[in-house]
Structure 1
């Protein structure tokens, strides 16, 4: 399985690449989890001076993966607690991007 979020660090620039070009980098639960783990780590890492978020292929990010949701393959949590966790994860990713203590750049292909 291909990693849905790629991370690199070079000369103080941390690059997060959303890696689902076949879905125009639409957000999946795995990608949100990856972002939720990577962003706080980069905020604390003294080697990171700037965070760049980009997408693989021709698109930056199509948003939520509506096709997978319609097919019942994404965000299909059954319990109320699981649904709340998924919603919280997406809100936390957004919060980390807005409140990142380091400059954050969206590099649109």
Structure 2
């Protein structure tokens, strides 16, 4: 694993650090506003895959260096593709598919992913925040889907945004392209908590460690079930959730957790 304190000479796209089961992934291209270039998306996808397989990783924090959390797609990269014989269509299709796969990878990851936003999250950067299971932000963080301002409706960010905010709130962001502050983002349901910058690292770490202390098996089962039932009609959702609950009850960690609770002791998870 790389260290967050890298020199600028060979600084990778991402910095990582594992502590107490909490795996920090930090985008390290502030000079490019941490844009989701093809290389950045590939790096994120590879790091998430690694985190998913590492048994020491129980919770993932996704953050960024600089004043911009993520500026969305790399517009210079998109513009350069216009010189292709097809006007860039094949490249655009590949980039949008790659981005969609990355967002779905986060949702399907068997471990919780928490966005830590310290700056501007715009367009696909806002989509990235919305795709994470939880999101923490400083009081100076801002969010927007400004594609409409440059003739490009934020259609793919819309998918994640509309699954966080209410339809009218999501449409307000998509149609106006205006930025909203952290307080409004919390009201919209885009983020969970607002934390003063000076206390962000310690509060987020403690918050993540609390989640990391749970059974990894239980978190995996719960996260998968949560997203699957969201798209189901009410009766199907209850049938599905009841089946999940029964299977969960049969797990070793459920037996251990209930026994520990009744015996007033700390559970010893086997993650199974």
Category of TM-score, reference length = shorter chain: 0.7 to 0.9
The answer (yes or no) to whether the contact 1:3–1:19 under 8 Å persists in 2 is yes
Check if 1:96 corresponds to 2:86: no
1:65-104 CA-partner distances (Å, limit 9, x unpaired) = 113422x17xx7x795x76554432222111111221111
Give the secondary structure class of the aligned counterpart of 1:98.
Answer: helix
Give the secondary structure class of the aligned counterpart of 1:107.
Answer: strand
Higher helix share: 2
| Structure 2 residue aligned with 1:7 | 16
| Structure 2 residue aligned with 1:107 | 116
The answer (yes or no) to whether the contact 1:36–1:89 under 8 Å persists in 2 is no
The answer (yes or no) to whether the contact 2:59–2:111 under 8 Å persists in 1 is yes
**Which structure 1 segments of 5+ residues have no match?**
none
* TM-score normalised according to structure 2 size: 0.35
Higher strand share: 1
Shift of 1:42: 0.8
What does 1:1-109 align with in structure 2 at a 5 Å threshold? Answer: 2-70=11-79, 72=80, 80=90, 85-109=94-118
Give the secondary structure class of the aligned counterpart of 1:101.
Answer: coil
In the aligned structure 1, how far is the partner of 2:51 from the partner of 2:15? Answer: 13
Shift of 1:2: 3.3
RMSD (Å), alpha carbons: 2.5
* TM-score normalised according to structure 1 size: 0.79
Task: Decide which moves more: 85-94 or 46-55.
Answer: 85-94
Following TM superposition, where does structure 1 have runs of at least 4 consecutive aligned residues deviating by more than 2 angstroms?
67-70, 82-89
